[in-house]
Amino acid sequence: MCLHVAQAPRNEHLNMGLLPLCLIFLFLSVSSGEISNSVGVNYGQLGNNLPSPEQSVKLVKSLGAKRVKIYDANPGILDAFKDTNIQVSVMVPNDLIINISNSQKLADSWVESNVVPFYPKTKIRFLLVGNEVISSPPKEIWPRIVPAMRKIRNSLKTHSLNKIKVSTSMAMDLLESTFPPSNGTFRSDIADPIVKPLLQFLNRTKSFYFLDVYPYFTWATNPKTINLDYALFESRNITYTDPDSRLTYTNLFDQLVDSVVFAMKRLGYPDVRIFIAETGWPNAGDIDQIGCNIYNAATYNRNVVKKLTAKPAIGTPARPGWVIPSLIFALYNENQKPGPGTERHFGLLYPNGSYVYGIDLSGKTPDSDFQPLPKPDNNEPYKGKIWCLAAKGANATALSAALSYACSQGNKTCDPIQPGKQCFKPDSLYWHASYAFSSYWSQFKKAGGSCYFNGVATQTAKDPSFGRCKFPSVTL
């Protein structure tokens, strides 16, 4: 017989009043592992020099990680995590979403090929349908996310894989307003047609809203307005009180997360749980990128781990005491990630497996046990000239293709490296590419152009000009 409780205490956001006592214990036993506050790590694979999956599993364990997320369903990685008791999140690639949304048969086939052979020996707990899909085109995929999620969930139920939750990861750019947190609002173009059905699905299936949140980028775009210590969880006397909610904040992370909480509430879903799918701080970057260094990365990641693993759970001002499952980005510095230099420097580990800085994702190791950190040298914006050169040792074929691209853009980008002109050097692909890259970047940086060129370019503060040949530069 089950005893009834007239008014049981609240556990997170579930009101247990009038529930049979045996059902309460059942709920707690089923949910405890699912909503554990353990911290994990994102295992990206965009590098040509990364350790094997087997070695990576050992490194994940050494970090104290209890969860891992991969950005596909790599069978070698899933095999390597068998019998480790580490929770694994796998992902349906973005380019399959439309086809899966239109075909239950394809959804069944994907689950049968990428989940069934590994479960339960590999502890797959989440299946994410796409990664930051709404952050980039094509827009045609956006409304197909939830239909694809439904079909994937149907496939899991068909195979009695009921412990695996379905979701999708989203970045902060889904919000048109994040400040103050109580004004958090999803973008008007996606709020009703896309986000609302997503929240309805997550609420109905008791899944999580997977959120990528990076205080680094918010601070780096507003370093004069936002105090760095506030972004690093280091502020001792800096607080912000939301004028509408009257909630007081002591760090930027909580502000950003709560802006999503209020945005969900605005759409009628105040209780959908949040899972931090990615957070972290870059340990290095380009010359023109501020605050990306080992000191800040270690400080942020150590502090966010302390917060997220605290017992009892801290939660956020809008959700005090709520458990927030989380994953730090990323396991490795990945040398083939496109974009600014920071993108290739979020790793806790170098590709050779050594630590970038000491860290324990279990949150049990005191900071005093770690080696001293190097002092930061780029917490203020760089002021001066920067050039974009070909990277030493770059592949000649790739360099030639990048040179051709740069010369095809802009106004007379490569005129000075034509035969007979002041910057022409016979048989010097390196110098011609370097001039072209600098010329291109000086013209297009303000419009979003980067000094990357598929990984064959790098920034320098040393003027490469020679003789009558003057290289164009970017001035900060």
Contact call for residues 346 and 280 (beta carbons, < 8 A): yes
Return the closest-CA partner of residue 212 out of 269, 153, 136. Answer: 136
Alpha helices in 325-444 (DSSP H): 396-407, 429-444
C-alpha to C-alpha distance for 125 and 395, rounded to whole angstroms: 41
Angle at 170 between CA 167 and CA 173, to 5 degrees: 160
Catalytic residue list contains 278: yes
C-alpha to C-alpha distance for 449 and 410, rounded to whole angstroms: 11
Residue linked to tokens 């600098």: 438
Please identify which of the residues 34, 140, 278, 343 carries the catalytic annotation: 278
C-alpha to C-alpha distance for 210 and 326, rounded to whole angstroms: 9
Strands (E), 178-320: 185-186, 208-212, 240-241, 248-249, 273-279, 315-316, 319-320
Please identify which of the residues 12, 34, 112, 132 carries the catalytic annotation: 132
Return the closest-CA partner of residue 329 out of 361, 373, 376. Answer: 361
For 188, residues 6+ apart whose C-beta sits below 8 A from its C-beta are 176
Catalytic residue list contains 140: no
CA-only gyration radius of the chain, Å: 25
Residue linked to tokens 């050097």: 425
Beta partners for 249?
240
In which order are the strands placed within the sheet that holds 457-460?
A: 457-460, 385-390, 474-475
> Which tokens in the block code for residue 21?
């006592």
> Which tokens in the block code for residue 91?
């992902």
Question: CA of 28: how far to CAs of 11, 24, 311, 387, 424, in Å?
Answer: 9, 6, 17, 58, 73
Please name the amino acid found at residue 144. R
Question: CA of 217: how far to CAs of 156, 169, 174, 241, 312, in Å?
Answer: 36, 18, 15, 22, 29
Give catalytic residue positions: 132, 278
